[in-house]
Structure 1
């Protein structure tokens, strides 16, 4: 699916264009507490950017931002990139040691955090690394206040020149990958990368000034930041942030209704939480949504069907990575084509191929490594030549995912290369087993993983969360699996649990789940 991208235009340009076209339209709402128009947002971003530059922030400086989902974060993120610096959003829940790693790896020059009563781990890490830090909070609709007021040595800078414009090649965002098998890798993304991605998202979902969404994912992650926030802002659409600064199932629908939301995007775990709420405490009336989007992990067809049935909107599964500035493929809107359950759709604004180990493009229906290239893809990991060598080969970015393209051009994911279970030479996709488990009417959540085995090398295990009131046992699960899977794919062991370890973004990492249950055997 093609996308319209203006070469040379920056993300800053696109958001300013929206502000000029729709100055009085609501840009950001915090539940029913605060509302900023596009004009107000533009003015406070300019004012904050000037303050940052006057305080010593230089083009290319990395500014770490540790906030919940607040309006302060939105303003600071836009102000940092307006000042031609680099925003490095960080999870507020990190430990001191984790903050030390991320601040060091990104070479941060300044840390800005939310105003808290306590001395935070982020600030403690900054002190240890001799990095200046400050807190920031909104005083009124026109100004952001910093404490301490002066946090960098000021210099004589011509701010008019500095703020005259941004460059397409400017690095403006520094994120880290999830690190499924190693320490997280640093991913620098440019204005051009983000323009390509948000333009692709706006185009494929037909976002306009008449749209509105509620942010349910953390803005320190590429999914919430790019797909939820930035794609909306370049479309002059409205964005609502929960007053708690994070997703809450109890306030989600009230925020959706009060903001006249037309769509939302989330990971499968959050979709399931929303479905649980619907099952136990349904709303009298649900807003009429254009679509529901799912990304960042595989969505089982059974969950997709439940979502569509419950909320009367098409569920569009997408495929994305930090290295691709988020979006790579998606199922289209109903008026634009077929959306297939179990597929992540078609590539948007970039090229995609399935390659074998020698870099040969495989035929339709054949499984291999999914590779992409396009203006949205990073130029490479920071200070990591080994990772770059492995990821950028044959003129493609290698995702590490196994999949295939069907005869209609839809992409189907089989699993991560390093997560495929090799049982006596038979390669088993944990995603396939997950889908079968989740189709059981008494299974709430499930994850499949490989464990060491003397006879087969690896054996299939799974962890299952029962639905409320269920007495489902291991034998019943195995009987169900044997009816729906080849014998060698059926789990050898079923762990029952009330919770599954997740990342901060709600993703379930198989390696972590496997370690958790094996260590507690």
Structure 2
């Protein structure tokens, strides 16, 4: 059954929410937000304070987001089901004064005394920590507004359009959709998580114009043979690299793909394709930088460099108990762990992370490029290349993958297709690669699998 009970029609345009529990127009939604904001204020929530909220039910989080904005307080969404001890750790790390209990319909004190003179923040978001320790990003209201307005202009998202959100609302990709919708005065079709069949149905039924997906979601839509509806103009695809094989399948099926690159620290996207793809892009090729975004020392194709970013959507800094801004920034620049370059035509290409360039026998090897090549092997569905220490060569490559081809046949294929230092030396087949809640591969868990018995 669909997550949306209403059907689309001419009177449904504008700032409307369609969700499993019903449909809200701009007027009815605004009244509900005002009621929630008044209740929070009566319970003690004040401007510049932080409220930790579970990301499920999704509709309740959307409501809390707007109510807190009215009060000048900040939302800190967390994954639903976290223990009280874990919530206290989060609260202590950023000075969050309150936690929202949706079942009881009230806020409770965390017991943490927040800083009385902290600069105002609108949103705190925990990074995924796919390859390291997670951090909490602080985003100010003006940064969120800039990110949403630039994205809406770039992707032509306006009052007559609808964005379907099926991403978790404790991560920036889902939260950014909410702010774009809110700034555009558009329609929002809200799903409680991702289900390929439900999503395919509502793309058609609700005249959806925009949707955000990570590659694994796109792959599952293609697997069930879901066609893109005539109304759909933009499929914003990000979170991890779009493989050549997946791009080829999606383009053949007619999906309007817009590869994008961004992160929590930049309020989501900072580079996005200017139009939907008409041909398979080169590995890592994204699109132009969005207006207002600068890349320092952009590197070249022969010598990719760490990407440093400056722009109006940049975070205020990583959270700390005093919520002081600036932590994690170099002046007004943010240094990422990604490598890339900007072409003469202004197109950004991202070739991986600094820790994905390894030395084997004195030769620099880019792990994402090897992964893209091994993905072409018949019977490989998904994979990660892991570089492990080697006492002779400095590093050896291990393929952790899911698919129908066995290790011996994949090793033989790699021996034929890849030479010298680029050839993986060990292979580990598993049922499915572990993922984070964002849909990204869990690189910490995958590295542990590569080290286990190889």
The alpha-carbon deviation at position 236 of structure 1 amounts to: 2.3
The alpha-carbon deviation at position 326 of structure 1 amounts to: 1.0
Is residue 489 from structure 1 mapped to residue 422 from structure 2 by the alignment? yes
Look up the match of 1:260.
Answer: 207
Query: Which SS does the other structure have where 2:72 is aligned?
Result: coil
RMSD of aligned alpha carbons? 2.9
Cα distance 1:441–1:201, how it changes in 2: closer, same or farther (>3 A)?
farther
| Residue 401 of structure 2, aligned match among 460, 464, 471 | 464
| Residue 232 of structure 1, aligned match among 162, 178, 181 | 181
Question: Where has structure 1 moved over 6 Å in runs of 4 or more?
Answer: none
Is residue 246 from structure 1 mapped to residue 246 from structure 2 by the alignment? no
**Per-residue Cα deviation, 1:111-168 (whole angstroms, up to 9, x for no partner):** 11443xxxxxxxxxxxxxxxxxxx3xxxxxxxxxx25xx857xxxxxxxxxxxxxxxx
**Per-residue Cα deviation, 1:314-346 (whole angstroms, up to 9, x for no partner):** 2111111111111111111249x9984431212
User: Is contact 1:256-1:287 (8 Å) kept?
Assistant: no
| Residue 345 of structure 2, aligned match among 387, 405, 408 | 408
User: Is contact 2:78-2:170 (8 Å) kept?
Assistant: yes
The alpha-carbon deviation at position 513 of structure 1 amounts to: 0.6
**Per-residue Cα deviation, 1:46-85 (whole angstroms, up to 9, x for no partner):** 2211221122111111100103252111111111121101
Partners of 1:47 and 1:292 in 2: how far apart? 35
The alpha-carbon deviation at position 420 of structure 1 amounts to: 2.5
| Residue 437 of structure 1, aligned match among 374, 387, 392 | 374
The alpha-carbon deviation at position 23 of structure 1 amounts to: 9.7
User: Is contact 2:166-2:194 (8 Å) kept?
Assistant: yes
Look up the match of 1:63.
Answer: 51
Partners of 1:347 and 1:43 in 2: how far apart? 38
Partners of 2:261 and 2:444 in 1: how far apart? 20
| Residue 218 of structure 2, aligned match among 254, 266, 271 | 271
**Per-residue Cα deviation, 1:393-451 (whole angstroms, up to 9, x for no partner):** 37521111111222332111121112333323323222212222333342221111111
| Residue 138 of structure 2, aligned match among 188, 193, 196 | 188
Cα distance 1:410–1:476, how it changes in 2: closer, same or farther (>3 A)?
farther
Partners of 2:26 and 2:417 in 1: how far apart? 52
Look up the match of 1:164.
Answer: none
Cα distance 1:489–1:365, how it changes in 2: closer, same or farther (>3 A)?
closer
The alpha-carbon deviation at position 354 of structure 1 amounts to: 5.0
Look up the match of 1:296.
Answer: 239
User: Is contact 1:328-1:350 (8 Å) kept?
Assistant: no
| Residue 407 of structure 2, aligned match among 474, 477, 481 | 474
The alpha-carbon deviation at position 353 of structure 1 amounts to: 2.5
When structure 1 is superposed on structure 2, of 296-305 and 81-90 the one drifting more is 296-305
**TM-score of the two chains, using structure 2 as the length reference:** 0.87
The alpha-carbon deviation at position 391 of structure 1 amounts to: 4.5
Partners of 1:193 and 1:487 in 2: how far apart? 47
| Residue 86 of structure 1, aligned match among 74, 84, 89 | 74
**TM-score of the two chains, using structure 1 as the length reference:** 0.76
Is residue 217 from structure 1 mapped to residue 167 from structure 2 by the alignment? yes
Aligned length: 433
